[in-house]
Structure 1
Amino acid sequence: MSNTFDLHQPMQGFPMMGMLNCIVVEDNTKQSALLKDYIAKTPKLSFSGKCESAGEVFQLVTSHRADIIFWDIRLLDNKVMVRLKEAGYYPIVICIADKQEQEEKETEIDVFSYLLRPLSFERFLSTMNKIRDYLSTTIYIHHRNNRFVFVKSEYKIIKVKFEDILFCEGMKDYTQIHVRGRAEPILTLNNLKSFSFKLPPEEFIRVHRSFIVSLTHIDSIARNEIYIGKKIIPIGDSFKDDFYQIIEWNS
């Protein structure tokens, strides 16, 4: 991947992308200063502030309408992300970690990518390129109270209402979005994890490494299988506890 990051160039089929507001969650002064410098050097990125604890994140994101959070892995807090999503904010999280921390610490937060220590501008630009590629495949609305998402599929931009999504199926680098009233699924160039960022977490749940389902459209559950219309979706072993807990809460 090239390390050039030119957001001044319009993306094919999309209007010019505006500034992306960034905040840094880091209690290491040297590293936070380094990230601030990298953000300042990168076109279309704007430094909106920093904090040294997870407790300050909600106020900083909402007051500055932050698009990207550079978040030290030691300070991650899933409760903050849940609160942000409930308020309609879906920032992209870039986790700062070394290799050992990345392997050892499990997180429930939807981390878009990891920026490994020691920090370097080359690694920073590579991570920003991932974001640019991601944003070029969809219109990503990270401050929303709307009930739909726009996705790019082949040569079209399709508006998909959340209430119409039955389930999503991951196919390596693609996701099939199965929509009621539509014979064929919508195919978009987002992997399942990336596409999951766009879905309201209170309405959709990942039940298998290859499937996300709409709780609204589940017809029945039997023998660790979910029935949605004629489709039978398996429940993966690592997803069972969370899924059945949600079912119990709604019983």
Structure 2
Amino acid sequence: MTNYQTRTRIKICGLTREQDVDAVVAAGADAVGFVLYPPSPRYVTPQRAAELAKRLPPFVTPVLLFVNALATDVIAACADMPCAIVQFHGEETPAQCWEASAQGRRPFLRAARIPLGDSGGFDLVKFASDYAKAQAILLDAHVDGYGGGGKTFNWSRLPPSVNSHLVLSGGLTPANVTDGILQVRPRALSLSVDVSSGVEISKGIKDAEKIHQFVAAVRTADAQLAKSHHVHLPAA
């Protein structure tokens, strides 16, 4: 199912500081995430997110994370960030995602909250089908609150084949992301990864060295997959 010639895309989420945005760009990540959910310790206002996003060079994508926000608030927050992708991380229905993404004119991700322990109790195939208009389904551990809990769900319990682009999240670190990619990538059309707490000093404060280590571990997984499938990966 998977195209192994595709480089694993990387998103670093929960950024709050200029130096962290710069560190993510320097490490070679593909996307940066801004949390627009006020209860989160990583929360930034839409205005602050737009200010930080101005530091991004071309081809590094800002992602705006919302939790059960009004469609009007999502659309307003996106107004100053025409290149942003929206991430829905709450209980948003397919219809609500469609409305808040300006009826599909704004690409969006839909987070699937995978139970800890026995992940077999969650029907990911049906979830992906219900949210077929999403650009990808983001897999996160189901913890108290919404995301950023540093918990890893059981990757081996995921379905063997999901007809969707997936983003692996939930408790990823430089130490485990290689294994996560090797386990999950064969199950999807493509796989990206998303990390927040795994590259932090404290909530919302990133560590540049951990970011570089995380990116290096992702590239290690790519190299292993390319070798095992006898393909040549394009230069990053």
Larger strand proportion, structure 1 or 2? 1
Q: Same fold (TM over 0.5)?
A: no
**What TM-score bracket applies, with the shorter chain setting the length?**
0.3 to 0.5
Q: TM-score, normalised by structure 2?
A: 0.32
Q: TM-score, normalised by structure 1?
A: 0.31
